[in-house]
Amino acid sequence: MDTKRLLDILRASPWLLVALAALALVTWWNPDLPVFLVWAMAKLALGAFLGYWVDRSIFHYSRPGSVPIGDAGPNTALLIAASMLRRALIMAAAIVAIGLGAP
């Protein structure tokens, strides 16, 4: 693996270290809270997964990567940006809906 790829993978590692340190502190303070954290993370990951597939199934003809770049017209960038924004909003709505659901 080249150095540039490794640095790209590890670019968020300071945030991961801070999160792991906070998790260790919370675990020391109250050992029951990490179980709740894992449950919350599982719900959020499920929301992201479902939001992605809801977008793909509803808008199967309009994916961000399916806009032909070779036919670059004046609206190509707008179409790509709109489809990316649409997917982000659908995924965010699914994440919020599952996150606010029953525990």
- Write the DSSP assignment of 4-64 as a string of letters: HHHHHHTTTHHHHHHHHHHHHHHHHH-TTHHHHHHHHHHHHHHHHHHHHHHHHHHTTT--G
Mean pLDDT of 24-29: 92
Mean pLDDT of 10-24: 88
60 token code pair: 């199967």
Convert the pLDDT of each residue in 59-81 to its tens digit. 888 777 776 666 667 777 788 88
101 token code pair: 């659901």
Does the pLDDT value for residue 48 go beyond 90? Answer: yes
Does the pLDDT value for residue 53 go beyond 90? Answer: yes
Does the pLDDT value for residue 51 go beyond 90? Answer: yes
pTM value?
Answer: 0.69
3-state secondary structure of 84: helix
